[in-house]
């Protein structure tokens, strides 16, 4: 890992807009982009496909360490097959939250995530980008929104992909995932004291991007 390469960390809960915003910020700056959540979704998906119990810490860690994955533009190739859509289901998200709570899995994926730090810079989004993976990131951001707004966004995302979704069910699942992510013993989801807090409840993705870019411009 090249510590001299700048990193912008964008953390936050599910459907806060961090993925869309981080991708746009990376594109505007000409930086690389890391979707750390995709790695945990891939571990969960691969575990289900291989019949590995999501409570089997050793099995999950071994799987994470040897994960056969390749990022090809917008496509994510797992074991030679396109898994781009498979990891974006609600089930995949819930499974990702479960495997992310396993310390051995987080340890196995640490170096894989840090390897994304390449010139000219990196925009990384997730839940512990600023706290654990890139603690020296500057600046750090924490995107949030009301759980109701996030649930509505998630329902719209699912419907756009042709999947059915019930708002009450998605709201319940997001609440459960928030609880799990914020209270896990290792790298819990939290807004760091040195992070800029951006509430996207009433903001468009474009507005959030501009706020982040304005902040980056002021400190560099």
Residues 20-73 pLDDT 10s: 999 999 999 999 999 999 999 999 999 999 999 999 999 999 999 999 999 888
Say how many domains are in the chain.
1
Taking the whole predicted model, whether its pTM rises above 0.85 is answered as yes
Residues 150-204 pLDDT 10s: 999 999 988 888 878 899 999 999 999 999 999 988 899 999 999 999 999 999 9
Per the CB < 8 A criterion, the answer to whether 143 and 54 are in contact is no
What CATH number does residue 13 fall under? 3.40.50.300
Residue 142 lies in a domain: yes
Residue 1 lies in a domain: no
Cis peptide before 139 (omega within 30 of 0): yes
Distances (CA, A) of 202 to 17, 22, 82, 144, 162: 12, 18, 34, 11, 26
Residue 154 lies in a domain: yes
Strand 81-82 relative to strand 75-78, pairing = antiparallel
Residue 64 lies in a domain: yes
Residue 2 lies in a domain: no
Residue 21 lies in a domain: yes
> Which residue range(s) make up the domain with 127?
7-214
d(CA 200, CA 211): 11
Residue 219 lies in a domain: no
Please name the residues in contact with 179: beta carbons below 8 A apart, sequence gap of 6 or more.
Answer: none
Residue 220 lies in a domain: no
């Amino acid at each position: 890992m090249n510590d001299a390469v700048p990193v912008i960390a964008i953390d936050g809960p599910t459907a806060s807009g961090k993925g869309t915003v981080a991708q746009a910020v990376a594109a505007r700056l000409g930086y690389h982009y890391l979707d750390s959540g995709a790695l945990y979704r891939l571990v969960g998906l691969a575990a289900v496909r291989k019949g590995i119990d999501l409570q089997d810490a050793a099995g999950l860690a071994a799987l994470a360490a040897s994960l056969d994955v390749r990022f090809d533009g917008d496509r994510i190739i797992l074991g030679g097959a396109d898994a781009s859509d498979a990891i974006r289901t609600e089930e995949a998200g819930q499974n990702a939250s479960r495997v992310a709570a396993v310390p051995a899995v987080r340890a196995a994926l640490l170096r894989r995530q840090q390897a994304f730090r390449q010139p000219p810079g990196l925009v990384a989004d997730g839940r512990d980008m600023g706290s654990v993976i890139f603690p020296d990131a500057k600046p750090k951001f924490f995107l949030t929104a009301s759980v109701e707004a996030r649930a509505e966004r998630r329902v719209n995302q699912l419907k756009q992909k042709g999947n059915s979704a019930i708002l009450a069910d998605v709201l319940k699942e997001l609440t459960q995932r928030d609880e799990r992510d914020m209270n896990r013993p290792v790298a819990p989801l939290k807004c760091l004291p040195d992070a800029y807090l951006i509430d996207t409840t009433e903001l468009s993705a474009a507005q959030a991007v501009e706020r982040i870019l304005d902040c980056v411009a002021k400190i560099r």
